[in-house]
Amino acid sequence: MEEKFKKLAERFDELERILQNPEITNDQRKLQALLKEYNELKETINLGSKLKEIKRALQETEDTINNEEERELKQIAEEEYQRLTAEEKEIEEKIKLALLPKDPLDQKDIIVEIRAGAGGEEAALFVADLFRMYSRYAENKKWQTQLLNTNRTGIGGFKEVIFEISGSNVFSDLKYESGVHRVQRIPETEKSGRVHTSTVTVAILPQAEEVDIVINPEDLRIDVFRSSGHGGQSVNTTDSAVRITHLPTNTVTTCQDEKSQIKNREKALKVLRARLLKKKQDEENKQRGETRKSQIGTGDRAEKIRTYNFPQDRITDHRIKKSWHEIQPILDGNLDLIISSLREEDQKRMLKLHENKSR
């Protein structure tokens, strides 16, 4: 840990020198990236400084315990030693977490794909609920959302909804949401009061820049057609909807929500890049089997990650075997408790993995 912290301190000093150079303001994008890195490192450096102060205080307190003859003063010093020892351990844990390798995708914006699974109209209605939940969460975080494509049903649900969320560290917060979300509740159309179980799949895709995924135009087949709404009625009288097929992987994306064919094409390409980046990630994860097993969930669409039980007013995340009550506030976008619990568990597993490797 000391060697890692030393390298981190050297990088921090280097960043300070770079940021003092007036010429750096000529490239605002680079400046923002360096400032972000500097501020993140500063938090860890401050933890290191605090740890040094505590270690010095511990030594002084220990000297007092060993040399003090007055019983009452010695007892006070022993109590202070216990407090400082607990604080030392807490800060060391924080530093260990700060020194863990960062996920290079954490700062990326995301594309969210939510699809109805088993359960017919009830599943489609729950797609709408989750779409609202993530949209509200994004709003609370001051993030931006943009709808990319929808396939609506007649009673207010969605067979599929695809949208973009952009902001600060979006993937870092929502990367644990990929998988099967199961809902247990009495549908509004159910006259007998019987509880139905339905499923919805969520995919969280980090947005891919052109430098992340290079697409050869010759590998694309682009079809245009008239967009249509639920029930089959025509939405447009022109061929504005776009379907793009990536021939090498047979990956298909469709966008029809915009009236402009050009805008639909741009959005479809954005989704295509994200899906191809996800494929690339999955292949890399298979090669890093040990790391994949240590993660909270695999991001696999077939993995059942969470159950929303309305009769018992309980949400359970099966990966960390933890439950929360009061479903409605969570569906209103108050996801912080769930996300922080998943992140903490993920950090513990990653820390254990790296400690095992260093032995």
Q: For each successive 10 residues of the chain (359 residues), what is the average pLDDT?
A: 80 90 84 83 90 93 88 90 93 84 84 92 94 96 92 87 91 93 86 86 87 83 75 53 90 85 88 88 67 52 86 95 95 94 89 72
Say whether both 70 and 125 belong to one domain: no
In a domain, 151, yes or no: yes
In a domain, 135, yes or no: yes
- Burial, 47: exposed, middle or buried (Cβ in 10 Å; 0-12, 13-18, 19+)? middle
Say whether both 127 and 61 belong to one domain: no
In a domain, 354, yes or no: no
pLDDT at position 238: 61
pLDDT at position 335: 95
205 near 272, Cβ under 8 Å? no
pLDDT at position 132: 96
In a domain, 103, yes or no: no
pLDDT at position 71: 85
**Domain of 144?**
110-348
pLDDT at position 295: 54
In a domain, 39, yes or no: yes
Domain ends where: 46, 78, 98? 98
In the chain, the DSSP E strands lie at: 110-116, 144-152, 158-166, 179-185, 196-206, 220-225, 241-246, 251-255, 304-309, 314-317, 322-325
197: three-class secondary structure by DSSP: strand
- pTM comes to 0.75
Say whether both 271 and 204 belong to one domain: yes
In a domain, 355, yes or no: no
- Burial, 52: exposed, middle or buried (Cβ in 10 Å; 0-12, 13-18, 19+)? exposed
Can you tell me the distance from the alpha carbon of 273 to that of 206, in angstroms, rounded to the nearest whole number?
9
> Residue 175: which CATH number?
3.30.70.1660
Say whether both 63 and 115 belong to one domain: no
Domain ends where: 51, 69, 98? 98
Say whether both 135 and 166 belong to one domain: yes
Say whether both 17 and 139 belong to one domain: no
Q: How many domains does the chain have?
A: 2
Say whether both 158 and 296 belong to one domain: yes
Tokens representing 120 are: 């017919």
In a domain, 220, yes or no: yes
